[in-house]
């Protein structure tokens, strides 16, 4: 039998005492209706992305041993130092502290990015803790999240261009994009809508990374 070191990301989820590994506490918004109810611009709402990044920076500065945060769309992942002993490495504490602090910051800073639009109801963010035994596994996780950002954003950019500017229904746009690869999507954007995807805002295409800077 081949000895694999936690090759399945889903098998790393834990709620007990975390082993001496890299610990990632991730938050995500489970309610898609929130964006619709608050009139978020599709495919990307710059206000929402800036608010998410601001909340993530708040979490990083408030919690001990956080060394990096990466986010895209409606999610953020927070990387704690491998040797952190925060809350005696109780995974549930990492999950609840990050999720609650992020959620409260989202409400607190809403007006800074969305005023005069009112927050209609409190948002809720899911939380989970994932363990990565080596730096390679941690790097692979972060690379996977950034690749996911690119794939999803490219699809969403061309999808909403077809709907908003191409006169297609959402069903027709889905059918048009079925079986297309990245090159096909780029060609549709450029030839039909004059959009050079590589010139889209970097935050849309690559996400947001927050790290400490020495001063």
CB under 8 A, 24+ apart: contacts of 116-121: 117/38, 117/39, 119/38, 120/37, 120/38, 121/37
Q: Are 28 and 156 in contact (CB under 8 A)?
A: no
**Binding residue per annotation — 73?**
yes
Q: In the sheet where 208-211 sits, what is the strand order?
A: 126-132, 22-28, 75-80, 66-72, 208-211
Closest CA to 185 of 146, 150, 148, 159: 159
Cα–Cα dist 117/136, whole Å: 43
Which of helix, strand or coil describes residue 143? helix
**What are the start-end ranges of the H helices in 70-134?**
91-108, 110-114
**Binding residue per annotation — 104?**
no
HSE, side-chain direction, 13 A CA sphere, residue 121: 7
Token look-up 């969403």 returns 156
Known binding site for GTP: residues? 73-74
Known binding site for Mg(2+): residues? 74
Known binding site: residues? 73-74
């Amino acid at each position: 039998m081949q000895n694999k070191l936690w090759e399945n990301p889903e098998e790393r989820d834990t709620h007990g005492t975390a082993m001496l590994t890299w610990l990632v506490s991730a938050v995500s918004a489970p309610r898609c209706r929130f964006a619709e109810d608050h009139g978020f611009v599709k495919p990307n709402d710059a206000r929402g992305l800036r608010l998410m990044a601001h909340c993530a920076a708040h979490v990083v500065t408030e919690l001990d041993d956080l060394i990096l945060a990466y986010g895209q769309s409606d999610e953020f992942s927070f990387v704690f130092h491998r040797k952190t002993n925060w809350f005696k490495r109780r995974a549930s504490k990492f999950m609840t502290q990050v999720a609650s602090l992020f959620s409260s910051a989202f409400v607190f800073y809403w007006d800074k990015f969305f005023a005069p639009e009112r927050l209609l109801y409190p948002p809720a963010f899911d939380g989970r803790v994932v363990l990565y035994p080596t730096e390679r596994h941690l790097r692979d996780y972060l690379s996977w999240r950034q690749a996911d950002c690119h794939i999803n954003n490219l699809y969403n950019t061309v999808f909403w261009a077809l709907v908003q500017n191409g006169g297609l229904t959402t069903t027709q746009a889905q059918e048009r994009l079925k079986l297309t690869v990245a090159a096909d999507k780029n060609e549709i954007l450029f030839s039909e809508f004059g959009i050079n995807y590589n010139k889209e805002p970097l935050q849309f295409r690559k996400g947001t990374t927050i790290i400490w800077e020495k001063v």
